[in-house]
C-alpha cells in the first residue's frame, strides 16, 4: 500500500466540476479548454491534433506530456472527453458516497470518472514531488461515435509505447483483455408504391419484404464471441401508400474477425435472396468500424497493472468485453493498451451512478501503476 493518499474531497469536487461541463460528441471544446488549463497548471505540455476538423467536431484530441526519468518507459493514460446525450444541464447530486444526476440527464461518469482520476494522480505527483517516469495523457473526442477521435488521432505526437484506457464499467481492479471488432451494416429495400386501398396488388411492400428477411436472420448472441443486432428501421410515407422503400441499420460484433465477416455476408445474402423472391431490390453496404484486440495475461502491460492493483489492495480480474473502446484503436496501432474498469454503473442512462469509493480506488490504482514503473518491478515490453 502506498504511503501517499488520494485527496478524496478534491477528487469529489473535480468530478462534479467535470460532469457539469456539457461535452456531447462533436461539442467537446468547452471541456477541452478547461482541461488544457488544468494540465498546464500541473506541469504538462499540451498539444491538440486536427481530429476535430476531420470528423466535423469543434475540438481535436489532446495529447499532454509530463517529463520524467528518462531510463523509465513512458506510459499513457487515456480517457474520452465526449459523452452520450442528454448531456446539457447536468447537475450532480452527491449523497451517501454516491454521485447521481439530479435530473433526466446522464451523469457523465463515462468517461469523466476516468478524467477525474487522471487529474488527481497528476496533482499528487506535483504535490509529493516523487520520482516518476515520463507520462503521457491522451484525452480523445467522439469516442461515443464509433471511436472517431482515436481513429483520427495523430499518432506522430504520441511518444508512449503502451498504456491504459480508463473506460469500462465494473469494479476497479478489473482489466479488459479482449474486445470485439465491429461492422455497421446498412440495408435499403426498394419495392413499389401503390394506393393501399385501391390498388395494393400493384405494390411491393418494402417493409414486408424486410420483415421476411429479418425473420430469417440470426440476431442477438450468436455464440460467446459474436453478436448481431438490427437497431434502426425507417420507412413508409403514409398509411394509405404501400411503402416502396425501407432503410435498416444494424451491427455485427465478434472477438474473431472472421466470424464477423461470415455473419455479415450471411445477412447480406439473406436480404438479397428474400428481396429477389418478392420482386424487390436490395442495396447492402457494410462499414468496418474498428478491429478486435486480445492481450495475453502475461503481457507486460497487464502484469504491470495487475501488480499495481494488488499494491492498491484491489482484487485483480480479467474480462473480455462486448463493446469497443479507444483501446481497440491503440492496440491496432501497435501500442498495447488495456481498458481499466473505473466503477461507472448503468452508463448511458439517467439512472447512471458512481461511488466515490470506486473513484478513489481508480486514482490509487493509477498511482501504483506509476510507482511500479519507476521501480521497474515488472518485465518491460
Q: Give yes or no on whether 8-179+292-375 and 181-290 have one common fold.
A: no
147-185: pLDDT as tens digits: 999 999 999 999 999 999 999 999 999 999 999 999 999
* Structural domain spans, the chain: 8-179+292-375, 181-290
Question: What CA–CA distance (Å, rounded) separates 134 from 221?
Answer: 43
According to the model, what pLDDT value does residue 268 have? 99
pLDDT for residue 378 is more than 60: no
Q: Which of 88, 123, 6, 4 is nearest to 357 (CA)?
A: 6
pLDDT for residue 317 is more than 60: yes
Q: DSSP H helical segments within the chain, as ranges?
A: 8-19, 29-41, 51-55, 109-128, 148-151, 206-216, 257-277, 300-311, 326-332, 356-375
Give the predicted TM-score (pTM) of the model.
0.92
pLDDT for residue 369 is more than 60: yes
Grid coordinates in use for 316? 485483480
Asked whether 354 and 102 are in contact (CB, 8 A), the reply is no
- Fold classification of 8-179+292-375 is Aminopeptidase (3.40.630)
pLDDT for residue 368 is more than 60: yes
Confidence of residue 372 (pLDDT cuts 50, 70, 90): very high
Sign of CA dihedral 20, 26, 30, 34: positive
Confidence of residue 111 (pLDDT cuts 50, 70, 90): very high
What mean pLDDT is predicted for residues 303-326? 96
Q: Which residues contact 182 (CB under 8 A, 6 or more apart)?
A: 146, 251, 252, 253, 260, 288, 289, 290, 324
pLDDT for residue 380 is more than 60: no
Q: Which residues are catalytic?
A: 82, 143
Strand order in the sheet with 245-254: 220-223, 226-235, 245-254, 181-190, 281-290
According to the model, what pLDDT value does residue 381 have? 44
Pairing status of strand 281-290 against strand 220-223: unpaired
pLDDT for residue 83 is more than 50: yes
pLDDT for residue 277 is more than 70: yes
239-262: pLDDT as tens digits: 999 999 999 999 999 999 999 999
Does the domain at 181-290 match CATH 3.30.70.360? Answer given as yes
What mean pLDDT is predicted for residues 104-128? 97
26-67: pLDDT as tens digits: 999 999 999 999 999 999 999 999 999 999 999 999 999 999
pLDDT for residue 146 is more than 70: yes
- SS3 string, 214-262, reads HHHCCCEEEECCEEEEEEEEEECCCCCECCCEEEEEEEEEECCHHHHHH
pLDDT, mean over the chain:
96
What mean pLDDT is predicted for residues 324-350? 96
Q: Exposed/middle/buried for 375, CB within 10 Å: 0-12, 13-18, 19+?
A: exposed
Pairing status of strand 174-179 against strand 293-294: antiparallel
According to the model, what pLDDT value does residue 3 have? 67
pLDDT for residue 80 is more than 70: yes
Question: What CA–CA distance (Å, rounded) separates 295 from 52?
Answer: 30
Amino acid at each position: 500500500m502506498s504511503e501517499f493518499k488520494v485527496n478524496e474531497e478534491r477528487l469529489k469536487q473535480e468530478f462534479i466540476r467535470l460532469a457539469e461541463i456539457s461535452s456531447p460528441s462533436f461539442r467537446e471544446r468547452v471541456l477541452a479548454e478547461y482541461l488544457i488549463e488544468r494540465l498546464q497548471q500541473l506541469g504538462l505540455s499540451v498539444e491538440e491534433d486536427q481530429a476535430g476538423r476531420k470528423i466535423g467536431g469543434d475540438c481535436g484530441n489532446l495529447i499532454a506530456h509530463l517529463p520524467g526519468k528518462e531510463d523509465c518507459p513512458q506510459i499513457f493514460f487515456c480517457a474520452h472527453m465526449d459523452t452520450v446525450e442528454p448531456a446539457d444541464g447536468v447537475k450532480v447530486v452527491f449523497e451517501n458516497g454516491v454521485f447521481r444526476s439530479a435530473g433526466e440527464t446522464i451523469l457523465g461518469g463515462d468517461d469523466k470518472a476516468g478524467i477525474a482520476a487522471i487529474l488527481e494522480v497528476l496533482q499528487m505527483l506535483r504535490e509529493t514531488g516523487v520520482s516518476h517516469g515520463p507520462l503521457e495523457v491522451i484525452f480523445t473526442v467522439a469516442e461515443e461515435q464509433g471511436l472517431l477521435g482515436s481513429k483520427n488521432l495523430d499518432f506522430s505526437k504520441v511518444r508512449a509505447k503502451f498504456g491504459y484506457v480508463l473506460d469500462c464499467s465494473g469494479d476497479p481492479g478489473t482489466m479488459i483483455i479482449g474486445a470485439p471488432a465491429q461492422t455497421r451494416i446498412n440495408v435499403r429495400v426498394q419495392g413499389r408504391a401503390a394506393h393501399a386501398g385501391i390498388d395494393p396488388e400493384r405494390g411491393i411492400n418494402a417493409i414486408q419484404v424486410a420483415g421476411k428477411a429479418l425473420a430469417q436472420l440470426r440476431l442477438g448472441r450468436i455464440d460467446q464471441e459474436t453478436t448481431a443486432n438490427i437497431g434502426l428501421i425507417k420507412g413508409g410515407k403514409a398509411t394509405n401508400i404501400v411503402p416502396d422503400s425501407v432503410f435498416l441499420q444494424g451491427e455485427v460484433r465478434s472477438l474473431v474477425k472472421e466470424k464477423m465477416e461470415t455473419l455479415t455476408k450471411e445477412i447480406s445474402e439473406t436480404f438479397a435472396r428474400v428481396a429477389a423472391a418478392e420482386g424487390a431490390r436490395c442495396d447492402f453496404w457494410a462499414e468496418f468500424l474498428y478491429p478486435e484486440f486480445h492481450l495475453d495475461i502475461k503481457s507486460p502491460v497487464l502484469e504491470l497493472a495487475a501488480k499495481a492493483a494488488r499494491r492498491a489492495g484491489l482484487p485483480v480480474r480479467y474480462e473480455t468485453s462486448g463493446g469497443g473502446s479507444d483501446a481497440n484503436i491503440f492496440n491496432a496501432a501497435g501500442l498495447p493498451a488495456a481498458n481499466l474498469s473505473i466503477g461507472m454503473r448503468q452508463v448511458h442512462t439517467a439512472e447512471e451512478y458512481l461511488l466515490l469509493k470506486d473513484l478513489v480506488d481508480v486514482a490509487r490504482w493509477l498511482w501504483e501503476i506509476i510507482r511500479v514503473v519507476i521501480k521497474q518491478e515488472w518485465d518491460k515490453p
